[in-house]
Amino acid sequence: MKYWYKAIGAGVFTLFSAPLFAQECSINVSTWGGNYQRTYESIIPEFEKLHNCKVNLVIGVSQDFVVKARAGEVDVMTNTMIHTTAAEQDGLLLKLDEKLIPNLASLYDNARHSPNIVWANVGDYALVYNSKYVTEEPTTWDVLWDEKYRNRVGMWSIESQAAALLAVQQANAHGGSFENIEPGLKRLAELVNSGNAVAQTDAESQLVSLFETEEAWLGPLTTGRIKDLWDRGLDHIKIARPKEGTFPTITAMSIINTTKQPEIAQKFIDFALGETAQVAFAVNNLYAPTNKNVKLPDDFKLRGVLVQGEAFDNLLLVDFTELNKVRGAWQEQYMRMVNQ
């Protein structure tokens, strides 16, 4: 059965029970659902107690967070780089204050992306596969096009960051480039036109479900969602990092300039860059810390899965500001190629 998903952000606010807070002190923080939401829920009470301020989580998908930011429904935005840099280009972001965010001084250099954007943690879109049916570890992204996997590839929609970066990788491998993306878009369209793609979705939870039900056997998925599957006992789901490299999933954090709580918002960013949050997202979600002073627990057995060292060096990094300029045209070009 084929699935073509378009996620709709419900704008659900998850509220935390907590002691009485300072009058009218609350902030809205955007986040994805699933295990990212659960990790936030596990650490936010510490922030609320420390600053006597309530945190409401705005649950949804990445593109919805920018819409909600424009509507004044988000104070602190947790989002992908592609959507956060778009918000920066639109003038929606507040400058980060080093006096209120002392942890900025402890970050790796590239984690301080701009005066308005910081990387909270780093993972990647690795190649996930079900070892019951894919019996040899894939070494290349090209395996997604193998006819053996007809109707078995779980794939992101063209609006997603993962699809855009896979298009760049495929363009590079097939005579194109970032500036000449057509060969890459043709390859993505082939996944659909050939029947290999069982789904295209912009909601990661739906991809997770397809792997869980074994309708999808392989495809790009973030390390955090792989951990989600492992936590459900699905140890036949394996991770491969192809020779061409993997695609970054960077948690970008920023403050929306319409916030009524700018000081608390700055302090929440500092909290996200501190040890409690950095360790929690590494252990629970497999997202590597960006604070170079954070030490992970000695008994953390999955540290080798984190995007560090060689895995970080092999990330396909692009200029996300430039990507935002061309992304709409790429999507239109791709849609003309599908089912021609």
Q: How far apart are CA 331 and CA 46, in angstroms?
A: 42
182 or 309: whose pLDDT is higher? 182
* CA distance from start to end of the chain: 21
What is the model's pTM? 0.82
Q: How confident is the model at residue 204 (pLDDT cuts 50, 70, 90)?
A: confident
| pLDDT (tens digit per residue) in 6-25 | 444 445 444 444 445 555 79
Q: Which tokens belong to 240?
A: 């491969």
Q: How far apart are CA 201 and CA 4, in angstroms?
A: 6
Whole-Å CA distances, 93 to 26, 99, 136, 236, 286: 19, 18, 46, 42, 28
Res 9: pLDDT: 43
Res 69: pLDDT: 96
Res 4: pLDDT: 54
Q: How confident is the model at residue 250 (pLDDT cuts 50, 70, 90)?
A: very high
Res 74: pLDDT: 98
Q: How confident is the model at residue 63 (pLDDT cuts 50, 70, 90)?
A: confident
- Minimum mean pLDDT among 20-24, 116-120, 255-259: which range? 20-24
Q: How confident is the model at residue 125 (pLDDT cuts 50, 70, 90)?
A: very high
Q: How confident is the model at residue 200 (pLDDT cuts 50, 70, 90)?
A: confident
Res 259: pLDDT: 97
Share of the chain above pLDDT 70, in %: 93
Complete domains list, the chain, with CATH: 3-121+250-303 (3.40.190.10), 123-248+318-337 (3.40.190.10)
| pLDDT (tens digit per residue) in 157-170 | 998 889 999 999 99
CA torsion sign for 256, 260, 262, 267 is: negative
Under 8 Å CB-to-CB from 201, ≥6 apart: which residues?
A: 3, 4, 5, 6, 7, 155, 156, 157, 207
Res 23: pLDDT: 58
Res 53: pLDDT: 98
| pLDDT (tens digit per residue) in 126-154 | 999 999 999 999 999 999 999 999 999 99
Q: Which residue has tokens 């699933």?
A: 34
Whole-Å CA distances, 75 to 23, 42, 45, 69, 88: 17, 20, 18, 7, 14
Res 61: pLDDT: 87
Q: Which helix (H) or strand (E) holds 93?
A: strand 93-94
Res 8: pLDDT: 40
| pLDDT (tens digit per residue) in 295-324 | 999 999 999 899 988 888 889 989 999 999
Res 2: pLDDT: 56
Mean pLDDT of 207-236: 93
Res 147: pLDDT: 96
Whole-Å CA distances, 32 to 46, 82, 107, 217, 297: 20, 15, 23, 24, 25
| pLDDT (tens digit per residue) in 26-58 | 999 999 988 899 999 999 999 999 999 999 999
Q: Which residue has tokens 């009218």?
A: 24
- Cite the DSSP H helix spans in the chain: 35-51, 62-70, 81-89, 161-173, 182-193, 204-212, 223-231, 262-272, 275-285, 310-313, 320-337
Res 313: pLDDT: 86
Res 312: pLDDT: 85
Helix (H/G/I), strand (E/B), else coil: 209: helix
Name the CA dihedral angle for 45, 283, 164, 11, rounded to a multiple of 10 degrees.
-20
User: Taking 80 as the threshold, does the pLDDT of residue 337 lie above it?
Assistant: yes
